[in-house]
Structure 1
Amino acid sequence: MLDPRLFRSAALSSAGLGMTITFFGSFGLFYVNASLLQYGRGFSVLQAGLGVIPLTVPLLVGTRYVPGLIRSIGIPATLSAAFALTSAGLLGLSYASTMAYPVYAAGLFVIGLGIMLAAPCLTAQIASALPVERAGIAGGLQSATRELGSALGVAVVGTILTAGFTHHLPADLGRHAPLPRTVQEALTLAPADHTAITEAFIHGADTALRAAALVVLLAGALVVAGARRAQRTAPR
């Protein structure tokens, strides 16, 4: 149903990659954030839910200003800021796991700014890259790239988190067969090692967030390069 020749368009291919990376970073964060707040900070489930609010503030308040910003500075500059902010926020969170919550909240807010800039910009770029009669294809492609990015974010971040967690478990648990792969499993086997187990989880989560930040930054650079190329080749 999707003609692969459409991806000869630099605008469409870069926007598709950009949407994938945006959702890769956001769902990678969603995968670890609630557990990190609960195990790392001792938040209840309700507190963890409320703790993510700073991420949503830019999306609720600032999205309506993004079209004007795009008209002022252009798509490449807007996407550069979006991926830089998202990457910086993910990296900042990886060092703020045990800091005061306002510091952690600031990292969430920065990520929210990045998503706020990226999502409407990329949506418009995908829609404008195809003629009106192919609007359905544009909508389907947008949904597909979102789902792909979400799945990759959970898979990659989850794998790195699990590897880091199991590697830093206390020695007695590290020799256990089968190896516990969640905090709950580890606590069931060794409740006295609560502190060491939660520290192992935090270490794994921090490593996963740093990996996600690097992926977003590098792939985001490719997206921006594609957007610049599309801009240069666009008919005047």
Structure 2
Amino acid sequence: MNRTPGYATVTTGIAVPRQRRAPAPLVRDLRDRAGRSPRALVFGPGDLAVITGLPGSGKSTLMHRAVAGARLDSQDTRDRFAARLPRFLPYAIYRPLVRLAHYAALRRALRTGEGVVVHDCGTQPWVRAWLARAARRRGGTLHLLLLDVTPETAREGQRERGRGVSGYAFRRHRRTTARLLGAVERGKPPAGCGSVVLLDRPAADALRRIAFTERGTVTATR
């Protein structure tokens, strides 16, 4: 994988540089750092970031804790629909409406030109392609934050939040996420991504800030 010394400062955070003409996407592996994980990820002002991983891996938890700016969580959209609809109505019935509302909100957010963190089914190639094009148009970069947790940990996360997925859906997510992770570990991140950050659960738990800034630096937050 492409590694550059001096990229991370473990006591503060990571300033993720723009990759306008980078020969290859940057891969930052923050797994197995034994308490030395950064507390912040800072991207350029026009960049976009997608958080992806297995259902129950901690994507929403990370977003709600660390993202103070613009964020779009498909689970929030689902929860708003669920609060207005009868409890007995299966999610499969209104799933298309949830997705339509989520992507409409994402389209509006992209028009602002500001940095946005997206929790979505980012393992879908068409979603990444859309976001990569949007980032390029605004002169920014698409960054992928990939949570690498075991299926057992993800299942436990689903139980804790009280929202599980079907066995079929979970197997499909496992296959897709495993292919994505394998490609990144082989040094072949998905097309359109300027960088990929690999996070295990301890590294994700250590993050306290995901932000976008002109200077691309971050100060210590103790």
Structure number with greater CO (CA < 8 Å, separation at least 6) is 2
- State the TM-score, normalizing by the size of structure 1: 0.31
Q: What TM-score do you get using the length of structure 2 for normalisation?
A: 0.32
Q: Going by fraction, where is strand more abundant, 1 or 2?
A: 2
Larger Rg, first or second structure (1 or 2): 1
